[in-house]
Every structure is written in C-alpha cells, then in structure tokens.
Amino acid sequence: MTSIRRPLSRTSDRASKVVGPNSFFSGQPMPAQHERYVATLRRAIQEPDRPTPTRNAYLPFKRGGFNNLCDALDYAATGNTGLNFFDARGRLLSVLPYSRLQLEAQALASRLIGADFGRGECLLIIADTSPDFCVAFFGAQYAGIIPVPVAVPVGLGTKSGYIEQLRRQIVACGAIAIVAPGEFVEFARAAASGTTARFTASLSDFLELPASESPLRPFQAGESCYVQFSSGSTRTPQGVDIRQDQLMANIDGSLAAQEVSEIDAGVSWLPLYHDMGLVGFILAPMCAQRSIDLMAPHDFARRPLQWLSMISRRRASITYSPGFGYDLVVRRASTQTLDHLDLSSLRLAGVGADMIQPAILDRFARTFAPNGFDPNAFMASYGMAEVCVGLSFGRPLSGIKVDTFADPQTGKDRDFVVCGHVLSGHRVEIRDEEKVLGERKIGRIFVQGPSVMPGYFRQGASPVHDGWLDTGDLGYWRGDELVISGRAKDLIIVNGRNIWPQDIEGAIENLSCVRRGECCAFSVEDGESEKVIVMVEGRPADPSVRESFEGQVRQAVKETVGIDVRVILIGRQPGLPRTSSGKLSRSRARAQFLESGGARPRNLNNVVHEFERR
C-alpha cells in the first residue's frame, strides 16, 4: 500500500482535463468496475461533448428522499442527466454526466483509501468551477473522507493574503491533504508548509496513485458530510459541521419548497465554495437528477449577460443570484443588444445571500420584460451555512412581496422583502433578551430543526443551545412569513436610537457618482459616545473635488437619517472588504479601521488620519 506519508513522484499538472485511462492502471490488473470506468472515459474522449439533457429517458424522477449523498449519486448515475461547464463566451468546455461523475469519484476514492487516508480525516479542495472539483468532492464522500471546499484566489495582488487565509483554513479543519487546480498548486503547497497537510497536488496527480483493493467506505446516514466555512469567517475560520442527515433534510425541504420537477433544469454562476452554489446547484440538483449548466464566477464578472444568454439558449427554468448579480446585468444591459434573449422559460429566479433590495429586482424586471421575463418568477429566500443553506422560501410564481414597517422610534417607514415560509419541520422564534416576540416585533432570529448544524467543526463554542441556533440576524413575522431586517452586529445605535446601516448606505448610493456596494457604514466608540463612520469607494485626486464629494455624502446621510457622520474616501483597489462570496463585510471594515488606531481608540481624528494614510 502506498502511503501519502512518503514522497511521491510527480507528473505534470493537468488541471481540468480528463486523464488518459491507461495512466490509471499501468502495470496493474483492472477490476471490473475499473474496466467499466476505462470504457466510459474512452467513449468520452472519442465522442464530441454534448450537454446532458433536461430529462432522463427512462429513470423515474425522485425529488430527494435519499439517506446520504452517495446513495443519491448512485441513483442519478443510472440516468443520463448531469453537469455542463461553459466559459465566458458560452462555449461548452466539458460535460460531466452523473454516471461518469460516479465512476470517476469511485476511482478517486479507491486511490484515497490506498494512499492511507484515515476515515473521517479532512481533504481540503480549492473549489474552482470544474469537473475536477466535483470528482474530488464526491471521491471524498465514497472514501469516507470529509471534503472541505474553499475559495479560489480572487483579484490582483492577493497571493500572500490568499496563502495566509488558506493556511488558517488548513489549521482550522486539520486537513491531511489538498486538491488544487494546477495553476494554484504552488499556492496551496506554500500554505500547507508546516501544517497537517502532507500531500498537495492536482486531481490528476491524485489519480496517479495506486488503487486500493479494499472496498469503498462511503459516509452513511448520520455521519459526516463536509465542512463549510461560513463566508464571513476569514480571519478566524469557522467551519460549519455539515452531517448527512442535516443536508438531506435541507435538500428535501428546499426541493419541495421550490416545487422542483422532472422538467426543470438550471443555470448558475455561483461559486462552488459557497453554500448557495454548492448545495443549490450541485448537491440538490443531483438529488433530483436535474441537469445544471455552470459558468465560473470570474467569467460571470467579465460577461454577466452570458448568464442570461445561457438561460435563453438552454431553456433553463431555475437560476439564483444575490441581488448584486441582478444589478450587474441591468447595468451591462444598457450598453448591449438584448434582442437575442428569451427568458420566458424561467419560472424561478431566486434571490438571497444578502439583504434583498426591491428596487434592484424592479429594475431587472422592467429591463428584461421585453425579453419574456415574468416578475412572478422572483423567489425571495433566507438561509445560512449553519442550516446547510435555505431556511425560508417564497411561494413559486408569487413574485416579490414588500412589507412596509413603521419604525417605532422614528415613525418613518422602511420597506423589507418578505422571505416566505419556513421549511417544513423547522421552528423559528423571534426573541428579545427576555421573551419570544409576537407578530411585527423586530428581534433576534432563532431556529430549531433537522437541518440545523450540531456546531462548528472542532470548536467548542457554538451558537446552538438546546437545539436552538442563534442566527445573529434580526427580523419579524408578517403573518406566517419571515421578514429579515438586518444583522444584529451591524445595527448602529446613536443616543439610544437604532439606525440601520442599509439606510445610510442607500442614501449614499442614491448619489449619481456612487454605485451599489461602494459604501459601508458602521459605528465605533470614541471614549464618550458612538460615532458613525462611512467608507466610500472613490478618492478624487483633486482636493477641492474630494472635499465637495465628502460634503455630498454627509448631506445625503443627514437628510435621510438625521445624523452626522465621518466620511472616509478609499481607492477602488483593493476597495471595501468583502466576504469570500462577495458580500460587503461591515465587521471587517470596522475591524480594519480599529486596527489602524488600536483596539479602543481615544482620538477618532488620529484613527481616521492613520486609516486614510494607508
């Protein structure tokens, strides 16, 4: 048996390519399952790639109901649906039917077992949008090894920061090895130095390892499934401990809430290291034997309208995005010809992952109404990695519902999007510090149910007590539907008055020179009271223009929420801090601000000066 504990010979990295079948079994007898695997690969190499179909020819449709992921893939593999990967121009890069995914994942699992990986150990996987990631993830499942998907490097000048972040994640989960795309192997090896990770390579190198003669050892119901690092936990990584039971309960509930059927197919650009991308467009569709067309997030950023073009060409019925994705395509649409788009096939355009802005969705609906988009296709949702992904969903084909809430402190009205009904089998309570609150009372959201995590992986502290998860979010009931109003830690309190950072940011974004997502509001203690800081991307070189811009920002906030703020203008590169899924991180912005002047700054002016000097 070859062990990963001693050096292995290397071949050239061949990320995102199919490895020649003969290379797996050179000089070794081929078991029957491997012969079938080789035959499948040879057919795939010889035949031109064609996308998998929407419907299975003979396999009966099952909307979930499986005990674990391997059982679900074993069933889906007997049909002819699967995953299709496209580039920024909409060209088909590769096709991965579930049948081929099963065979390749089982071949990898045999090699992981043969390489002396222990059952229950962790395999870190840099989650690019490619067949390699899917094979690595399911290969770990069949081997009884816990996959840990993490983000790919994003942006320029981030190598050292990315390596340090990756190192923290390796340490947090105790990963024994890392699978990386060929172009990121050296990054991963640098991060792994001095940690528990003893082998770092591309998938093709892992597949060069000798196969084990031992049987596969897939995770069963009640056992581990994977570790999901929550998107906001980059400095101190918190890995959500996802179990098979919790995941299957969440997938079954989500598929039912979305009324997924045998005629559905999806398109997604969401990152596969994020819960909405991984569960929503890899794991859940596989549990319903659905075909999914995928493009990488960086390709979406380059050509966002290709997302809609793929929906149009492939006649997809389901897609999902945070609000900023809908906003981006609307802005790009102003400079493009849209005559070729037909969005009439889209019955579910989900929106979630950040605070839902009705104005953005309204602009999207008006922009693409001539292209057949039905605004009733919008489905608001709410969730988090700590419950696998989704907790509440609107009704299919009901569109977005907006609730006007009268702030009891100011008397002003605020509009919130209604996020629908809680998944079957789950309970939600809205609480203050002493009691459970009634309808239309804002409080902290607690949830109990079958998809709630047991805790964070290898961490003693947990927000789950007596089965109830403290989400850290604020919201209220509108009848039997849930409304999300914000994050508790982001709430700004000035002279006893609650102020939502979204109100401040919205006032600034209404300025013609500021786009959505280019400003951030938070508060800091200045010895005697709370002071509100506003960071805005965009720092004009001309001092007089800069002073005028700062004045516009202060005036916009004053007119909207009636408070004075200190304005900090920063460059668009690197810009405001964001989570790995692209959401604005107010807590990290505040932490960076405080770090520039000490944990408890006595002189706010000095802190501002030091931060701006950076």
Full 3-state SS string of 508-530: HHCCCCCCCCCEEEEEEECCCCE
User: What is the structure's pLDDT at 15?
Assistant: 33
pLDDT surpasses 60 at 188: yes
pLDDT surpasses 90 at 185: yes
User: Where is pLDDT greater, at 474 or 144?
Assistant: 144
- What band does 221 get if pLDDT is binned at 50, 70 and 90? very high
Q: Give me the mean pLDDT over the 123-144 stretch.
A: 96
User: What is the structure's pLDDT at 511?
Assistant: 81
Classify residue 281 as left (phi > 0), alpha (psi -120 to 50) or beta.
alpha
Closest by alpha carbon to 274, among 583, 510, 594, 605?
A: 583
Average pLDDT, the chain: 83
The whole-angstrom separation of Cα 34 and Cα 39 is 8
**210 Cβ contact partners less than 8 Å away, ≥ 6 residues apart:** 1, 2, 28, 111, 114
User: What is the structure's pLDDT at 22?
Assistant: 36
The whole-angstrom separation of Cα 91 and Cα 48 is 13
- What band does 581 get if pLDDT is binned at 50, 70 and 90? low
- Cis-peptide into 574, omega within 30 deg: yes
Instruction: Tell me the C-alpha to C-alpha distance, in Å, between residue 4 and each of 1, 114, 160, 174, 379.
Output: 10, 9, 27, 16, 47
User: What is the structure's pLDDT at 28?
Assistant: 42
**Residue for token digits 């609150």?**
437
- What band does 5 get if pLDDT is binned at 50, 70 and 90? very low
Q: What DSSP assignment string belongs to 22-33?
A: HHHSTTS---HH
Q: Give me the mean pLDDT over the 131-140 stretch.
A: 97
pLDDT surpasses 70 at 100: yes
61-89 pLDDT tens trace: 999 999 999 999 999 999 999 999 999 99
H/E run at residue 567: strand 566-570
The whole-angstrom separation of Cα 522 and Cα 530 is 10
**Helix-strand-coil percent breakdown of the chain, rounded to 5?**
35, 20, 45
347-396 pLDDT tens trace: 999 998 777 888 889 999 999 999 999 999 999 999 988 999 999 999 99
**89 Cβ contact partners less than 8 Å away, ≥ 6 residues apart:** 303, 306
Neighbours of 520 (CB within 10 A): 28
The pairing of beta strand 146-150 with beta strand 122-126: parallel
Domains, the chain, ordered by start: 317-488 (3.40.50.12780), 491-613 (3.30.300.30)
User: What is the structure's pLDDT at 6?
Assistant: 34
- What band does 287 get if pLDDT is binned at 50, 70 and 90? very high
pLDDT surpasses 80 at 151: yes
**118 Cβ contact partners less than 8 Å away, ≥ 6 residues apart:** 176
